[in-house]
Amino acid sequence: MVALATLALISIRPNLEFPVVGAQTTQAFQPLAPGFAWNEAIVSWNLENPAAAGVKVEARAWRGDAATKWYTIADWAADTSKAPRVSVEGQKDTDGDVDTDTLVLKTPADRLELRATLKTLAEGPLPRLKLLTASFLNSKEKTADRPVRSPAWGKTIDVPQRAQGDYPNGSVLCSATSISMLLWHYSRVLNRPELDRDVPEVEACVWDSVYKGAGNWPFNVAYSGSFPGMRAYVARFAGISDLEKWVDAGLPLACSVSFDMLKGAPKGGSGHLVVLVGFTKDGDPVINDPARRGDVRHVYKRADFERAWLYSKRTVYVVHPESAKPPKGGEGRWMED
């Protein structure tokens, strides 16, 4: 792996209890400095007892002593009968914009400040903000992945299969179906049946009514990380070698790819989510592809997968039990504890 200073993930574990019903509180956090100039950031959050929670997540970038305005990353609620769960359009200015779920700057910055406004919307156990993460990228720089035989080659994780086309509105459910497969997998690993959530339930819990879809990246991990003992966040990796470390550790990942390029098209296409479950003995990725009918599991050519994944700048959903041991060697691209 030849990696430049272009990628980092920084986590905050606030353990911040929400206020009493009817009150709200706003908490700003110390600016996060990844150690390089960045122009894209994806923010994720996990809550305990989220049923009564409403949260506004905001971010602003710093360049030296100058700050941008506060951008709203999301207005989020687990229960949309109590408060909205939406991305926010129309924020573009001379500094940047929020592209649904990603803060994109016109000029690179060196720090990111996060702010969360917390509301408790109903009686019951008070919600708690347990995790905030920010995945940073300098999209102007590149990373190069040199394939080397990995211990992950020849390994496949037994993740159960679901097909998005088996459900109403299936054409837009690749993300919800991928999350459903990951949660079903951990329901079996942990012997926790309550983690097995079918696709329509996941869809309802991640739907962004402004984006009009179930593919908002932070909403999918916010839902996955809301279960007791689970952790979930969006990250960007440096190459397939990073994915191999996770498979070798026995931990599947959801990967954001180009639907057409995954099947060999030279460019373009629409975004798509798949679950990486292993590698063949020759290093080709083994995928649970929710868009496939019948046999969801399929082997794709390594080169096609790499091009398709690069379409999203190598974005992944990291979803696993808090008790799991993530692989070492991430060089700051994921949480290792």
What confidence score (pLDDT) does residue 266 get?
Answer: 78
What confidence score (pLDDT) does residue 220 get?
Answer: 99
Residues 118-138 have a mean pLDDT of 97
Residues 247-270 have a mean pLDDT of 92
**What's the per-residue H, E or C state across 250-264?**
CCCEEEEEEHHHHCC
Whether the pLDDT of residue 269 is over 90: the answer is: no
User: For residue range 175-212, what is the model confidence (pLDDT) as tens digits?
Assistant: 999 999 999 999 999 999 999 999 999 999 999 999 99
What confidence score (pLDDT) does residue 142 get?
Answer: 75
Percent of the chain whose pLDDT exceeds 70: 97
Q: Which helix (H) or strand (E) holds 130?
A: strand 128-137
What confidence score (pLDDT) does residue 7 get?
Answer: 96
| pTM higher than 0.85 | yes
What confidence score (pLDDT) does residue 144 get?
Answer: 63
User: For residue range 315-332, what is the model confidence (pLDDT) as tens digits?
Assistant: 999 999 999 999 999 999
CA distances to 50, 119, 164, 218 from 45, rounded to whole Å, are: 11, 15, 26, 7
The radius of gyration computed from the CA coordinates of the chain, to the nearest angstrom, equals 19
Residues 97-114 have a mean pLDDT of 98
User: For residue range 20-50, what is the model confidence (pLDDT) as tens digits?
Assistant: 999 999 999 999 999 999 999 999 999 999 9
Distance CA 288, CA 116 (A): 35
Residues 55-66 have a mean pLDDT of 98
Whether the pLDDT of residue 4 is over 70: the answer is: no
The pLDDT confidence band at residue 2, using thresholds 50, 70 and 90, is: very low
Q: Within the chain, where are the H helices?
A: 174-189, 199-206, 217-224, 240-248, 259-262, 302-310
Mean of the per-residue pLDDT values of the chain: 96
Residue 316 β-bridge partners? 235, 255
Q: Which two tokens stand for residue 268?
A: 């373009």
Residues 110-133 have a mean pLDDT of 98
Q: Within 137-193, where are the H helices?
A: 174-189
Structural domains in the chain, CATH included, are 7-137 (2.60.120), 155-321 (3.90.70.10)
What confidence score (pLDDT) does residue 294 get?
Answer: 84
What confidence score (pLDDT) does residue 323 get?
Answer: 98
Whether the pLDDT of residue 280 is over 70: the answer is: yes
Count Cβ atoms below 10 Å from residue 65 Cβ, excluding itself.
5
What confidence score (pLDDT) does residue 122 get?
Answer: 95
Q: Are strands 271-279 and 7-12 parallel, antiparallel or unpaired?
A: unpaired
